[in-house]
Structure 1
Amino acid sequence: MASNQPAQEVIAWLTSNGWTPDRDLGERAAELVEVRVRDAERQGVALSPSPAATRVVNAYGLLRLPHPKAAETWLMKPTLGYEGDAALIQELATGLGVSLFPVGYEESERGLILVDETGRWFHLHHTGGYFLGVNDYDAFSRFLSGVNAPDAEDYFV
């Protein structure tokens, strides 16, 4: 399923939700990332955005991405989270052996959407961590097709 090029259905879905191929939030993305970094520091945890996570915020930040057939929506806003989430992100990152940074969340159950330093996507849900895709397009394609996300533990080092 993984591809460096999006399927036509992914492009159509993203476009219908406000995305364009040249979308760049610029300084606004940097502000969103900084808010999240400061919140993690307030929680006593250092979260550092990787270039991959920053790129995702630049390209998709502030988009609301509803599933066309299910009651699930991804809100691509890294500033949303909950008290204590930074420690949970750090714990998952330790298991994966890579840094993670939040790029959004899933609205219905408030699970965090995270991107690692290699560009892989993960979901930190109250039931655990899950793998969403090897890159943006893979994660979006899996989301649209309803593929069950495997446990993040399958990717632990």
Structure 2
Amino acid sequence: MTVGDLSPEAVSWLTDNGWFPGRDIGAECDELVNVCVRDSERQGAPLQPFDAASRIIRTYGLLKLKHPRVSGCILEMDPTVGYEGDAGVISELASNLGCRLFPVGFESEEFGLVLVDERGRFFYLHHTGGYFWGADENEAFMRFMTGADAPDAEDFFV
């Protein structure tokens, strides 16, 4: 996805929160991915990275994207955060969706995980279930910013 593929609202919000076109966290991306992979292996449900996940982490990794209207609510683009057992839940959701998932961040208000699949679609894993956040990062960012209802992930099961 290029800057031209992001809505003006998303670009403005992202730049206000430290992002810039061409941003690439380089080797830090590999380190974050490796931490996540090792933790998932330790949990007994290995997660494997793929191009879409690495691209998202390289481009937005380590950003703390503040909600434009909800004080204290932040979309933290850190794939290394989660609860014990999350890897198994992610693997189960991935199996139901018929494609791999990898965490790319979390939402600080509810501590739900933000996941991306091999096609670049975004899902949100909350204690109440899995939800579809969008076909790409623009849709996911706009859903976060607007608080629009998210369809259940099961609507996308194979």
TM range (shorter): over 0.9
- Aligned ranges 1:12-27 → 2 under 5 Å: 12-27=12-27
What's the RMSD between the two structures over aligned residues? 1.0
Aligned residue-pair number = 154
- Aligned ranges 1:129-144 → 2 under 5 Å: 129-144=130-145
Q: Residue 48 of structure 1 aligns to which amino acid in structure 2?
A: Q
Cα displacement string for residues 16-61 of structure 1 (whole angstroms, at most 9, x for unaligned residues): 0000111000100010000000000000111001100000000000
Provide the rounded CA distance (Å) in 1 between the counterparts of 2:74 and 2:39: 24
For structure 1, the residue ranges without an aligned partner over 5 or more in a row are: none
SS for the counterpart of 1:70 is coil
Query: Which TM-score applies when normalising by structure 1?
Result: 0.95
Task: Compute the displacement of 1:67 (Å).
Answer: 1.0
Provide the rounded CA distance (Å) in 2 between the counterparts of 1:110 and 1:78: 12
Equivalent residue for 1:40?
A: 40
Provide the rounded CA distance (Å) in 2 between the counterparts of 1:146 and 1:106: 12
Q: Residue 62 of structure 1 aligns to which amino acid in structure 2?
A: L
Q: Residue 59 of structure 2 aligns to which amino acid in structure 1?
A: A
Higher RCO by CA contacts (8 Å cutoff, separation 6 or greater): 1
Task: Compute the displacement of 1:66 (Å).
Answer: 1.4
SS for the counterpart of 1:109 is coil
Equivalent residue for 1:53?
A: 53
For structure 2, the residue ranges without an aligned partner over 5 or more in a row are: none
Task: Compute the displacement of 1:145 (Å).
Answer: 2.0
SS for the counterpart of 1:77 is coil
Provide the rounded CA distance (Å) in 1 between the counterparts of 2:104 and 2:33: 8
SS for the counterpart of 1:88 is helix
% same residue: 56
- Aligned ranges 1:74-113 → 2 under 5 Å: 74-113=75-114
